[in-house]
Amino acid sequence: MAGAACVGVAWCYADSDVPDMGTVSIHPGGARGLARGFTLAEALIASAVLAVIVVAVAASVSTAQKVAWESRKRMLATFAADGMLSELMTLGYYDLRDRDGQTDAIGSMETMDGVVYPKAFWALGRSVSVTDTSVTEPGSGTVVDGVDVRVAVYDEHKDLSVLTVFVAEPAE
């Protein structure tokens, strides 16, 4: 290749071989050079993948917050139901029936002494029901008369905690 002006490339044409084109050179591997950017298609695909990841993370955070809130409401509901049952158990047997149908509307729960529950209970309400029932002792077959005291704590959608206790009628 006499007269060839190509140095350090894989191959080249000499002036005498291709008289009309001059010198043409091709870089090894067909690369245009080391400084190469993303194409528009690559950038759009990367943006789409990133968007999907962001949406998935946002959805999982939202779900986690909802689950945490529901768990907190259930915990508070159990506290409120247990508190009411504890108060009812301080009453005499014959006074329990007076509490049948007692309801505290959502956001306005109070103790039997009239103390307002803290603001954390704002999404909860509760109701008390007292029903006559009989329980048969399995071992002896003895029938015990009494009442079932049921306390249900609820939110705007459903009962969150329901506690029931049987209270035997006192012997005469």
Per-residue pLDDT of the chain (172 residues; tens, 9 = 90+): 455 555 555 555 555 555 555 455 555 555 555 557 889 999 999 999 999 999 999 999 999 999 998 999 999 999 999 999 999 999 999 999 999 999 999 999 999 999 999 999 999 999 999 999 999 988 898 999 999 999 999 999 999 999 999 999 998 7
Instruction: Decide: helix, strand or coil at residue 28.
Output: helix
- Are both 53 and 86 inside the same structural domain? yes
- Are both 104 and 137 inside the same structural domain? yes
Q: Which structure tokens are listed for 29?
A: 């591997």
Q: Which domain holds residue 8?
A: 1-34
- Are both 24 and 75 inside the same structural domain? no
pTM over 0.95: no
Edge to edge, what strands does the sheet with 125-136 contain?
Answer: 103-104, 125-136, 143-154, 159-168
Where helices occur in 10-144 by DSSP H, the ranges are 40-88, 93-96
Q: Give me the amino acid identity at 136.
A: T
- Are both 65 and 131 inside the same structural domain? yes
Between CA 44 and CA 56 the distance in angstroms is 18
